């Protein structure tokens, strides 16, 4: 028969394992979207700065 301490340890293990699993799923879904958006904004800003510099020269 399980003692109460073993039961709590098992529950803590399950909770930590489940939290890690869902955090991994969240990061794998969210990080590429975040990085892609940041890179897109950076490219857009550089393109606008280049257009502005070209317009000032002309």
- pLDDT, tens digit, 9 for 90 and up, residues 6-45: 889 899 999 999 999 999 999 899 988 999 999 999 999 9
DSSP state of 34: H
Place of tokens 């399980």: 2
pTM above 0.85, yes or no: no
d(CA 34, CA 19): 21
d(CA 39, CA 33): 10
**Is residue 3 pLDDT above 90, yes or no?**
no
d(CA 14, CA 57): 64
**Is residue 56 pLDDT above 80, yes or no?**
yes
d(CA 43, CA 49): 10
């Amino acid at each position: 028969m399980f003692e109460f301490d073993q039961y709590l340890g098992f529950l803590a293990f399950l909770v930590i394992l489940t939290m890690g699993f869902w955090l991994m799923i969240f990061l794998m879904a969210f990080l590429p979207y975040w990085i892609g958006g940041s890179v897109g904004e950076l490219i857009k800003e550089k393109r606008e700065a280049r257009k502005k510099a070209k317009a000032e020269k002309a």
